Chains A and B, each alone.
Chain A
Amino acid sequence: MRVESKIEITAPPALVWEYVSDPSRYLDFMSGITRWEVVGAKRIGLGARYRMLLRVGSAEVGGLIEVVEFARAADLAWTSITGIDQRGRWRLRAGHEGRSTVTTLRLSYGVAGSGIWGWLADKVAAPTVRGHLRRSLQQLKRQVEHEQLRSAAAERRRSRMGAA
C-alpha cells in the first residue's frame, strides 16, 4: 500500500532539508511517531540506521530502517531492515523562484506473505497513515516557516544594532 502527502513550504529546499535529514527532529514534527532513534555509529547520510515506531490502531509498528538514498536538499529514501516492510521518501523540489519547496512524503508499507488479511489491514490502516503524513507535513511547514521568520527577525535586529 502506498500513501503520499504533499505541501508547499515557504522556505528554500536547503532549510527544509535541515529538518528532514536530522533524526533528532523527527519526534518534534512527525505525527504518530513514538520512536526515532539512531542505531549504530552513523547518524546522518547514506547507510544511517534508525529504529522507528509509528502508532497505527492498536499497535506501534515500524522497526529498523536504513537510509538508501541521500541526495542533499532533494531526496531522502529509506527501506526497512526488520519489522513491517516499508519504504519511505522525502522529495524536495524548489517551488516559486526557489523561495518555496514542494515537499512530498511517501510511505509504502505492508507485510509480505500475509495474504488477504495483510491486504485488508493495509487498506484499513491507510486513512490513519495518510492522516499522520498530512499532519507531519503541516507541522514541518509550521516549524520551518516559523524558524525562517525568527531568523529573519534576528537578522533585522542585528543590522539595526549594527547601524546604531
Chain B
Amino acid sequence: MAATADLLSGVAELVKSRVPAADLDERDPDYIRESLPRLWLLASLYFRAEVRGLGNVPDEGPVLLVGNHSGGNLTPDTGVFTLAFSTYFGVERVFHQLAHNLVLSMPGLSFLRKYGTVAASHDNARKALQAGAAVLVYPGGDYEVHRPSWQGRRVDFGGRKGFLRLALDERVPIVPVVSIGGQETALFLSRGERLAKGLALDRLFRLKVLPISIAPPWGLNVGDMLGHVPLPAKITIEALPPIDLRREFGADPDLDEAYDHLVRLMQETLDALAAERRFPVLG
C-alpha cells in the first residue's frame, strides 16, 4: 500500500514538473495559420461541424468565452471553435484556451501551447485578459467533460463559479459558447468519482474523476489517459450575445444569481440545439 502511495506521489511530481509555466508568448500565429487547413479538413469532413453566432463576440478587446465541455480527454469542441475563431477574426487576434494541467503535461500535446493553450488557473486567465486576449474557459472542466453519455445534453459546471469572479475583476464581458455532439464521440459510462477518490487522484493531480467509457480503439477505456479515437459525431457550436455582469446584475452582482442565469441560458440553447438533432452521432 505504501509502495502504491509512493508510486502515485512520484507520478504526481512528474506530472507537476511537466506542466509548463504559462508563457502567453508561446502562442504562434504563423503556426496556427499554417495548420488551419488541417483543422478545417477535420472539422468539415470528420465532424461536419457548424459554428454559429461568432458575430456575437465583440470585435475587439478582452472577452471571456465560457463553454460547456464535452468529449472526454479529446474534446473536438475546442479544436472546432479554435478553427472558427481563428478564421473569423484572423490569427492576429490573440486567443487563449485554458486546459487541465494533465492535458498540457501529456507527451505529444506540447503543440497545443502554440495554439495559445495555457494551464487553467486564475493567474493565467487574468494575465491573458489583461493582455487584451479572448480567453476560452470551460468551468465544468474534467467534471463535465466525462459526464455519462445520457447526460450529454446537460450543461453541468458542477457549481464552479470562479469564472464569474474573474470576469468581474477584469471587467470583461462573458460570451457563452454552447456546443453539442462532443458527448457522442464515445459511450461515456461513468465519471468514476469514487474510483478517483479511492486512488487519491483528487489530492495528487486535481483529478476528481477517473472516467470509464467504451471507445475505439480500446473498447473499455478507464481513465482516457491515452485518449481515444472519437466517433465522427456532428458538432454544432453556438456563441450567444455577450453578458456584462454589472449591467445585468448591478454593481455588486450576486454570483449565485448570475451563475443560475448563465447556466439556464446555456441549457436553453443546448436544448434548442438538441431539438435540431435527429440521430446520435449523425446529427
Query: Footprint of B on A, CB under 8 Å?
Result: 53, 56-64, 82-84, 111-115, 117-118, 120-122, 124-125
Which of B34, B35, B43 contacts A58, CB < 8 Å?
Answer: B43
Task: Flag if B37 contacts A111 (CB, 8 Å).
Answer: yes
B34 with A114: CB separation less than 8 A: yes
> How far apart are the CA atoms of A53 and B54 in the complex, in Å?
12
CA distance A155 to B124 in the complex (A): 67
CB pair A122 B43 closer than 8 Å: no
Main secondary structure of the interface of B (DSSP, over half): helix
A-B contact pairs, 10 of them (CB 8 A): A58-B44, A58-B48, A58-B84, A59-B88, A63-B90, A83-B87, A84-B36, A84-B87, A111-B36, A113-B33
- Closest CB-CB distance, A124 to chain B, in whole Å? 6
Q: Are A83 and B44 in contact (CB under 8 A)?
A: no
Knowing A57-B44, A58-B44, the reply to whether A117 touches B38 (Cβ < 8 A) is: yes
CB distance from B13 to the nearest CB of A (A): 38
A42–B84 CA distance with the chains assembled, in angstroms: 29
B36 engages A114 (CB within 8 Å): yes
Q: How far apart are the CA atoms of A57 and B88 in the complex, in Å?
A: 13
Q: Which residues of B contact A (CB under 8 A)?
A: 30, 33-38, 40-41, 43-45, 47-51, 54, 80, 83-84, 87-88, 90, 92
Query: Which A residues lie within 8 Å of B90 (CB)?
Result: 63-64, 82-83
Residues on A with C-beta less than 8 A from B43 are 57-59
The answer to whether B51 touches A117 (Cβ under 8 A) is no
Are A58 and B33 within 8 A (Cβ)?
A: no
Chain A nearest Cβ from B52, distance in angstroms: 10
CB A18 to nearest CB in B, in angstroms, measures 28
Q: Is the CB of B34 within 8 A of A120?
A: no
Contact residues in A for B45 (Cβ distance below 8 Å):
57, 124
The answer on a CB contact under 8 Å between A121 and B84 is no
Interface contacts beyond A58-B80, A64-B90: sample of 6 additional A-B pairs, CB < 8 Å, sorted by A: A61-B40, A83-B87, A83-B90, A84-B87, A113-B30, A117-B38
Contact B37 A121 (CB under 8 A): yes
Which of A57, A121, A125 interacts with B38 by CB under 8 Å?
A121
B84, A59: Cβ atoms closer than 8 Å = yes
Q: Hey, which chain A residues are within 8 Å of B35, CB to CB?
A: 114, 117
> Which residues of chain A are near B50, meaning CB under 8 Å?
58
Task: Say whether, besides A63-B90, A83-B90, A58 and B51 are in contact (CB < 8 Å).
Answer: yes
Contact pick for B54, options A60, A61, A84, A120, CB 8 Å: A60
Which chain B residues lie closer than 8 Å to A124 at the CB level?
Answer: 41, 44-45
B34 touches A111 (CB 8 A): yes
Across the two chains, which residue of chain A brings its CB closest to B51? Answer: A58
Q: Which residue of A lies closest to B44 (CB)?
A: A57
Distance of A148 Cα from B80 Cα, bound (Å): 44
The smallest C-beta distance from B146 to any residue of chain A, in angstroms, reads: 25
Complex Cα spacing A60 to B88, Å: 6
Complex alpha-carbon distance, A59 and B235, angstroms? 13
B60 → A minimal CB distance (Å):
12
Q: Is A121's CB under 8 angstroms from B41's CB?
A: yes
Shortest distance from the beta carbon of A33 to any chain B beta carbon, whole Å? 13
